[in-house]
Structure 1
Amino acid sequence: MQHLEIEFKNLLKKTEYDRLRSLFPEVTPVHQTNYYIDSPNWTLREHGMSLRVRTFEEGGELTLKIPQAIGNMEYNQELPSNIWPLFPDQLHLPEGPILDLIQEERINLEELRILGSLHTERVEIQLPIGLLAIDKSSYFDQVDYELELEVTNPAQGREDFENFLKEQNIEQRKAPTKVARFSAKL
């Protein structure tokens, strides 16, 4: 499955996270772990790609993101039940469109490694303005909090996101992607 992901992000202070989280007490958080994959010399990143395996309590998916003029083209592939439980002990990329895209770039699969993991407790709420996610992420010795809004219209989405931040009295803060924040701590 592939789709164009357009999202707006904002880092949160813990107090802001707690306040937003309290707005949706009926929503059960989802726990997920992202395993980031690249070569030790960042071959995928040099090709403008980021690759992860995301595992849930039951199941997992492989995701490849490639930046576009607006947003990221995101390719998702469900991991077969015989593969996902092996992470992070074994890296095995299943046949499919993601492996095909990586091989088209002539990337040596033998060089790819799991660089580490990031655990997220996520609360997702579908709002009229888009899919809102409130995240608490832990990686290495770091814990951070983030707000994301996934939209289909970039101009309207930006306006809606900025209005949401104002309504919630949250200062705008740059939020690098999770993979960028994770990579900076390596």
Structure 2
Amino acid sequence: MTTNLEIEYKTLLSLDEYDRLKKYFSHVTPIRQTNHYMDSHDLIMRSNRLALRIRTFDNDAEMTLKVPQTIGNIEHNAALTLEEAHGMLEAKKINDNLPQISDILSILKERGIDYGKITVLGSLTTIRQEMETDIGLMALDKNTYFDACDYELELEVQDSVKGKKDFKKFLIDKNVEFRYAKSKVVRFLKMLDNKTKN
């Protein structure tokens, strides 16, 4: 398992802004990734301000537990094969026999979370173009979940103060309006809630 501190800034984009920024990323090959969000039906993870997902790519996968910090999130990542990931996704439960996710399960236990109740709530697929820039790791995303589609720009940085300033300047330089973007999992859960009510 690997652990890293994630500090990122993001903005939602209009379709026009997304299309314009695609030219800036034109040399970057898009990657398709799908986040499969995991929680109990009563959202025990969310109520503890945690996020758990399995992310699948074309050839491999990973499980990630995000734990909020004063600034950013600590990400605990465990590599999975596609077979291991699909096994859990099809069963809609965590396979606690996988040694590489034992540290993630230990963190959940320490927080009093019964991971046996955790299931797969649904998926969000992102077409991502990502590149290193002078101001940090930048990603241009097109996200689809349920019947929704949105666009966002993310910047992952090391220094929160400098990163915020650099991100703001980049948006101004590219004539992009800043629109507050909640995390993907929060947007997904809001849409799931709306679907459940209707």
TM-score by length of 2: 0.91
Query: Match of 1:131, SS?
Result: strand
Structure 1: unaligned runs, 5 residues or longer: none
Structure-2 residue corresponding to 1:38: 39
Structure-2 residue corresponding to 1:51: 52
Please say if residues 83 and 92 of structure 1, whose CA atoms lie closer than 8 Å, have aligned partners that are also in contact.
no
For residues 175 and 52 of structure 1, what CA distance do their matches in structure 2 show? Answer: 19
Please say if residues 6 and 150 of structure 1, whose CA atoms lie closer than 8 Å, have aligned partners that are also in contact.
yes
- Residue 37 of structure 2 aligns with an amino acid whose one-letter code is Y
- TM-superposition CA deviations, 1:43-83 (whole Å, max 9, x none): 11122210000000001000000110000011111014541
- TM-superposition CA deviations, 1:157-181 (whole Å, max 9, x none): 0000000000010111000000000
Structure 2: unaligned runs, 5 residues or longer: 193-198
Please say if residues 35 and 125 of structure 2, whose CA atoms lie closer than 8 Å, have aligned partners that are also in contact.
yes
Question: Is the aligned partner of 1:77 residue 2:78?
Answer: yes
For residues 58 and 180 of structure 2, what CA distance do their matches in structure 1 show? Answer: 30
Deviation of 1:85 (Å): 3.1
Query: Match of 2:65, SS?
Result: strand
For residues 115 and 179 of structure 2, what CA distance do their matches in structure 1 show? Answer: 36
TM-score by length of 1: 0.96
- Residue 147 of structure 1 aligns with an amino acid whose one-letter code is L
Which of 114, 119, 127 pairs up with 1:108? 114
Over aligned residue pairs, what C-alpha RMSD do you find?
1.1
Structure-2 residue corresponding to 1:149: 155
For residues 56 and 87 of structure 1, what CA distance do their matches in structure 2 show? Answer: 15
Which of 117, 121, 129 pairs up with 1:123? 129
Structure-2 residue corresponding to 1:164: 170
Whichever structure has more helix as a proportion of its residues is 2
Aligned residues: 186
Identity %: 44
